[in-house]
Structure 1
């Protein structure tokens, strides 16, 4: 038996997070930098516009280029990782991440920065599937896997929360390029921890099927087009041709992907796997969470600023209950699941999300206290369900499919969030007769906006509840 295989088995029998702390640190840092790059550059957009003479369209692509490629390529790179080694792809991705971030020093035009952001998004997509897949490799016990998942995701949530603040502080003393250059030492630390803290990939545990390149291209195109369509709907509405064209292209690509995967001898992803009760339930939970997050993410900040007249800084503080709750509740998820069992803890957490959405939809217009209650309920439930769903997918798939399973988990939630925001944006835009920026100028405008938000949130809540009910039944079959 090889030393690598022995190492894998020794690591898998770890009885605490402390026993594998370098690996946990490395994976946490990877997730941290992925979340930071989602938000840290946004605060610098006005500075970038002046420095590079960038147009509004340029700034849109600078902000969204990363997220489109990051979300769109995760499943493809998950399939690559399952075949060529999760740890290996992670380390290559971290190296490219550092190089692409360093390339910002050579940027002189908006197009150059868009290219750099796109390259960083591609590199991040290489690392993302490995975070949970490599974590799964470390433990046999579900409670330890939940504990590690909670810790890693908490670090990422902290990064997402402090990203804009950190960016603002850095801009006080350094040029905007420093926001990306800081990725270099962070990526180096992550690579070192993973290199020495996680054993090399065992060839016996890899997916031996050839990579379905046409399927990977069609799947990637489908996700990118779907995310882009949702972005266009939120920004421009359905009045222009571009969202319709992008949406139609996404549908065509999706049909092509399904046809290809069902006919090829070696599909990129076997659809039979997502029919497994534990996997199907977990993905439905993730999609429900995405819809719930969309309803709150789109509406709350607009209500606080456009209707109530809060400043951007005050609105950011108004959203703090969500971030604080998600961070604070992480360490208690394991005990919650131990007490109620995953089969009951999932529906309980999902019920909290639904209660939060209903609180906001029906009472959020009357006082901020109801918004705070909604944010706390929804974020607490989301945290519980996210961890349970992640572990459910990891445990429900064969070991040689864990990377693509992790990618599928993240992608399902991201696509659902984009769809939810597009639905909310469409309903609000259809209700308003004037500009969204002027809704607070009259009592009629305020009522119209609030009624539209209520309708949109209730609609998404109904779909969310249906997904949760279906997931609970599927989860019961897995026990």
Structure 2
């Protein structure tokens, strides 16, 4: 009698403690994503001096990473669902370690940008997988929320301490150390994922051919959509370049949709986006990304340019957001248990929109209102950042979870860029003269404050519409 080969049955962990090795590895992945740009931004002036880099080159040191990371997440999410989430993540971690190690040999700004591009590719291979693997590690939704909260807390701690740690390191060591620190982080993540997560079960993957044309069109759409907001902010609405990039993004998006609707094996089955849990989760995540990025951009300009705070004091002024993001992790799971996943998603999204509305209407009246707005947005973001992603993955087939996580990250990245672009465009349209000059006239001060109010209200209305759409879709799911 012939023997049939069956996949081994792997019992799901019954607590976070049982899965600590895997969670340590996945937390290290998210730590890299959050720590990377925050710690590097502090070193940009030093990098510019030592590498004789132009302003444009310095912008691309951080921008190249963000654009490549955002542009490739969808493609690598689809690849991971076909060829193995664990396998793709391990390859990405090796690439991350190698690219970070190459920093030690960088001698020009061009070489550093090339290193940042490679790190962006590695981030696109690893970051969506961290959420997908954490979701699949457990069968219980409560444990999934707790695991995702733990992973995001580690990353947010990195985001909070990154600038301070980077400044201290620069006082005693060369700037290359700030990127070389990714080498031990990648090694820790590799060891944790390899030892703590079972190899991919072929039954949990799908073998549809890769939609290469769809991947190219999807990547082009996202890259152009991420580049266009930056061009609007830096070149203004009077330049043809940002409008050309926007038009190209729209054309690429239309071509991508047409391709995915007609392809036998699409990169992204658009029917998945119509699922209520998926569409509502993406709407909540998009609203949070739009509000958070727009608020951070406006508050930073207000504190330093309008109120005249020095950069160090302005950094202290952002502390309410940092404290709530880091300390609020312990409250996420109790809150979700009390109100449920669906209500937690829309309530937290509504808190983000409320914080933005407080800033738009009352922010000009004093710092206490700015601090309240920052705290409200951070509290809502702390919950929705976990719950919206879990809801999206709950609404997808098991063999599509990584592309689902990639969709969540892509929605956040694109709306963050849109939030900054919208705020920057409104400021550029209403403020006369150079906004960076000192000693504004009374008319310029009034223009700035009116522009901040209009930008804040505009972002609030758009974010509220996204949340309202999410609530409607959530009720349909129920």
* TM-score computed with the length of structure 2 as normaliser: 0.97
| C-alpha contact 1:439 1:446 (8 A) present in aligned 2 | no
| C-alpha contact 1:147 1:331 (8 A) present in aligned 2 | no
Counterpart CA distance in 2 for 1:439 and 1:234 is 20
**1:436 counterpart SS class:** coil
Does 1:6 find its partner at 2:5?
Answer: no
**1:207 counterpart SS class:** coil
Counterpart CA distance in 2 for 1:157 and 1:235 is 28
Partner of 1:21: 20
Counterpart CA distance in 2 for 1:420 and 1:62 is 21
Does 1:289 find its partner at 2:315?
Answer: no
Partner of 1:169: 168
Counterpart CA distance in 1 for 2:341 and 2:180 is 42
Cα deviation for residue 443 of structure 1 reads 2.5
Unpaired segments of 5 or more residues in structure 1?
Answer: none
| C-alpha contact 1:205 1:400 (8 A) present in aligned 2 | yes
Alpha-carbon RMSD across the aligned residues, in angstroms, is 1.3
Counterpart CA distance in 2 for 1:473 and 1:330 is 27
Counterpart CA distance in 1 for 2:143 and 2:195 is 21
Counterpart CA distance in 1 for 2:7 and 2:17 is 21
Cα deviation for residue 353 of structure 1 reads 1.5
Does 1:279 find its partner at 2:282?
Answer: no
Question: Which range moves more in the overlay, 235-244 or 273-282?
Answer: 235-244
Counterpart CA distance in 2 for 1:123 and 1:295 is 27
Counterpart CA distance in 1 for 2:266 and 2:438 is 50
Counterpart CA distance in 1 for 2:474 and 2:354 is 21
Counterpart CA distance in 2 for 1:345 and 1:128 is 24
Partner of 2:416: 417
| C-alpha contact 1:4 1:200 (8 A) present in aligned 2 | no
**1:121 counterpart SS class:** helix
Counterpart CA distance in 2 for 1:476 and 1:234 is 38
Cα deviation for residue 3 of structure 1 reads 8.2
| C-alpha contact 1:306 1:440 (8 A) present in aligned 2 | no
**2:206 counterpart SS class:** coil
Within a 5 Å distance, the mapping from 1:106-145 to structure 2 comes to 106-145=105-144
| C-alpha contact 1:439 1:449 (8 A) present in aligned 2 | no
- Give deviations 1:362-392, integer Å, cap 9, x for gaps: 1111110100000111111122222111110
Unpaired segments of 5 or more residues in structure 2?
Answer: none
Cα deviation for residue 31 of structure 1 reads 0.3
Partner of 1:403: 402
Question: Which range moves more in the overlay, 326-335 or 191-200?
Answer: 326-335
Within a 5 Å distance, the mapping from 1:215-234 to structure 2 comes to 215-234=214-233
Partner of 2:244: 245
Cα deviation for residue 318 of structure 1 reads 0.7
Counterpart CA distance in 2 for 1:36 and 1:97 is 14
**2:42 counterpart SS class:** helix
Q: 1:340 to 1:108 in 2, by over 3 A?
A: same
| C-alpha contact 1:307 1:440 (8 A) present in aligned 2 | no
**1:41 counterpart SS class:** helix
- Give deviations 1:335-386, integer Å, cap 9, x for gaps: 1122122232222212211221111111111110100000111111122222
| C-alpha contact 1:279 1:397 (8 A) present in aligned 2 | yes
- Give deviations 1:271-297, integer Å, cap 9, x for gaps: 000100111100011111111112211
Partner of 1:202: 201
Counterpart CA distance in 2 for 1:371 and 1:197 is 43
Cα deviation for residue 460 of structure 1 reads 1.1
Cα deviation for residue 440 of structure 1 reads 5.3
